[in-house]
Structures are given as C-alpha cells and as structure tokens.
Structure 1
C-alpha cells in the first residue's frame, strides 16, 4: 500500500522563487521536502491556535459568564493597546 500521494501545484512566482532558493541553498533536497516542512509548520500553528482557543479563550469566556460585571469594554482595551504602541518602552 502506498504511503504517499502525488500532487501538482501552482504557486505565485514569488513563492516558487522561495522554494527554488531553499533548494539551491542546500537547506532542502527537493520541492517535496519544502512543501512537507511548510505543511508541518502549518499543522503546528493550527495546533497552537486550537490549544490557545481551548485553554485560554474558553476559560476567559467562562470567567466572564461567572461575573460579567468584571468585563472590560472593547473600546477601553483598544485604548490600552494604542497607548502601549505609542509609549516608548525602557530597555
């Protein structure tokens, strides 16, 4: 039984150049290796997002449902974020 499946893909020129550059640099031996590594990174990102949603977003929502009076309005949160971005930080 075959454990792989062949695909034919079309990429924009900038992505195709990136793939070829990765192979030319010696980082990868083939287009297939580049694609596999990219898909692994996508799977890791999806798993991290799913974990964040389950562990933090759901928990935060449950906390809000327990005591909605503790919620911070979205406009206040946005103002805090904007203030952080405009205030220089000490290093």
Structure 2
C-alpha cells in the first residue's frame, strides 16, 4: 500500500471556487492543502458529536440559562446591548 493515496474529487462549482480562493489568497499552497486541513478539522466520526465537555456544558449551563429565561423573560438582555458590550470589550483588548 502506498503511503500517499490518490483521489479525484468532484465538487459543486461554489465549493471548487472557495477552494481556489483560499489557494489564491495564499492561505494554502494548493487545493490538496485545503482538503487535508478540512478533513483534519472534521475529525474522526467518534469525535464529531461526542465531546464530553460540550455535552456537560449543554446539560448544565445552557439548560439552566434556558430554564431561567422561561421563568423570567424580563431578565433577557436586548441584542443591541449585547453587541455594544462585546464591541466595547474588544476595543478594550485592542482588537
């Protein structure tokens, strides 16, 4: 078996254009690099949806926040206030 496999992949035009755009901007040396990084980011099937820390966060923090909002919707912060606060925090960090 060869150490490097060879595949021919057909992509929809929009995806092929995006791959080429990343190559053109210099983010990747070639299309192979784009696909390799995409596959590495996608990970193994058993890792995709079973991060225990994410599952724990969803079960505890997110559910608790949702339940609190349902009990008292007046505690919700309007979106424009959240955006303004995030902008202020980013500016303070020099971003």
Which runs of 5 or more residues in structure 1 are unaligned?
61-71
Using the size of structure 2 for normalisation, the TM-score is: 0.54
Cα shift readout 1:41-68 (whole Å, capped 9, x = no counterpart): 1007962522238x639xx6xxxxxxxx
Aligned-CA RMSD value = 3.6
CA distance in 2: counterparts of 1:14 and 1:49, whole angstroms: 27
Give 5+ residue unaligned stretches, structure 2: 86-95
Superposition map of 1:29-44 within 5 A: 29-43=29-43
The 8 Å contact of residues 19 and 34 in structure 2, kept in 1 or not, is answered as yes
Q: CA deviation at 1:30?
A: 1.0
How many matched pairs? 71
User: Runs of at least 4 residues of structure 1 off by over 4 A?
Assistant: none
